Amino acid sequence: MACKIVVIGSSNTDMVVKTERIPAPGETVLGGEFVMVPGGKGANQAVAAARLGADVTFVARVGDDAFGRTAIQNFEREGINTSFIVTDPRAASGIALIIVDKNGENSIAVAPGANMRLTPDDVLKARGAIEQADIVVLQFEVPMETVEAGVRLAKECGAKVLVNPAPAAKAPPGILPMTDVLTPNRIEAATLLNSSREEDPSRLAGELLQSGVGAAIITLGSDGVLIGQSGERGWIPAVKVDAVDTTAAGDAFTGALAVGLADGSDLKSAAQFAVYAAAASVTRMGAQSSLPTREEVEKLIAKELLEGH
C-alpha cells in the first residue's frame, strides 16, 4: 500500500525564460526559449512525492482564474487529492517569473497571490487526511501562522513533520522543536539561526539540533547534502549530471525524502534516494515538468552503481 503524505503549501505558475546569462540590474538580455509550467514549492513537492508513488493530499489556495483551474487539473492528472485546495475569488493565483542561464542557475521573482491567504482554518479542515498521514510536509511560501498551525496539527495527529524552510525566513520559535526533519539550504539555515551564511554547514546543523529539530539535512547544491542528527554528522555527495535547470531541485529532494521516510527508510537511505531524485530533476527544464518518476530515479541509481560511483 502506498505511503500517505500531506503537503501544505504554495501553488504557482512559473514563467521561465532561458538566457545566456542572468541580466544585471537595468540590463536587457535577449533570451531564447520561453516555457510556462506549473510550480510553487508546495505544489512541486506534492507532485514530486506523487510521481514517486506516494498517496498525496495537497492543502493550498489558488485564484479563481485560468491559472488556478489549470493547476487543479494538473494535480488531478498526477493522482493528487485536491479536496482541500481552496479556490479563492478574491485573489489571483501565484505567479513566478524565472530566468535560467546557460549553466542552469536561476533567478526568481514571485507574486504569491492566493498563497498568502492560506489560513490555519484551511489546514484544520484537512484534519482527517492529516490523521491518516505518515508524514506532513510544509514550506515557507504561505503565511507563517498557517505553517505553525500545520506543524502543530501534524504533531497532534501523530504524523512525522518535514519542514523545508524556503524561501529563507525567520520561523516562530514553536516550529523548530516540533519539526522531525528540516531541509534548509545553507542560506536558509543561517537565516533561521540569525547566523552567517558562510558558517560551516556542520556547525549550522549542530545549532539547528540544539534548537530542538529532530534532524537537519542541509542541502549544498553540487556539494551534496550534510545530515545532522543526535550528535552524528554524515555527508552524501551530489550525483554528477549535466544540469539544464536547477529550479526545482530542492523540491525534488524534499518530496523524495518525504517518500523515503514515509516508506520506512532510515534518514540516510531516504536522503540518498532524494539526492538521486534531485539529480534527475536538474537534467530537464522547468519545475514540475522536470520532476522524475520512481522508474527514472531507479534507472539513475542503477546507472551510477554500474559505473561504480
Query: For each of the chain's 309 residues, which pLDDT tens digit applies?
Result: 889 999 999 999 988 898 999 999 999 998 788 988 899 999 999 999 999 999 999 999 999 999 999 999 999 999 999 999 999 999 999 998 989 898 888 888 889 999 999 999 999 999 999 999 999 999 999 999 999 999 999 999 999 999 999 999 999 888 999 999 999 999 999 999 998 767 789 999 999 999 999 999 999 988 999 999 987 899 999 998 988 888 789 999 999 999 999 999 999 999 999 999 999 999 887 778 889 999 999 999 998 888 765
Q: Would you call 121 a catalytic residue per the annotation?
A: no
Q: Residue 97's Cα: distance from chain center in Å? A: 18
Report angle CA 49, 71, 219 to the nearest 5 degrees.
40
**Rounded-to-integer distance, Cα 277 and Cα 281, Å:** 6
Q: Where are the domains of the chain?
A: 4-23+30-306
Global pTM?
A: 0.92
Q: Which fold has domain 4-23+30-306?
A: UDP-N-acetylmuramoyl-L-alanine:D-glutamate ligase (3.40.1190)
**Rounded-to-integer distance, Cα 160 and Cα 261, Å:** 9
Pairing of strands 4-8, 225-229: unpaired
As separate numbers, helices (DSSP H) first and strands (DSSP E) second, the chain gives: 10, 13
Is 173:192 a contact under the CB 8 Å cutoff?
no
Nearest to 160 by CA among 239, 258, 14: 258
* Complete DSSP assignment for 16-79: EEE-SSPPPTT-------EEEEEE-HHHHHHHHHHHTT-EEEEEEEEESSHHHHHHHHHHHHTT
Pairing of strands 106-111, 135-139: unpaired
**Rounded-to-integer distance, Cα 237 and Cα 246, Å:** 17
Catalytic residue among 88, 251, 263, 266: 251
- The SS3 call for residue 97 is strand
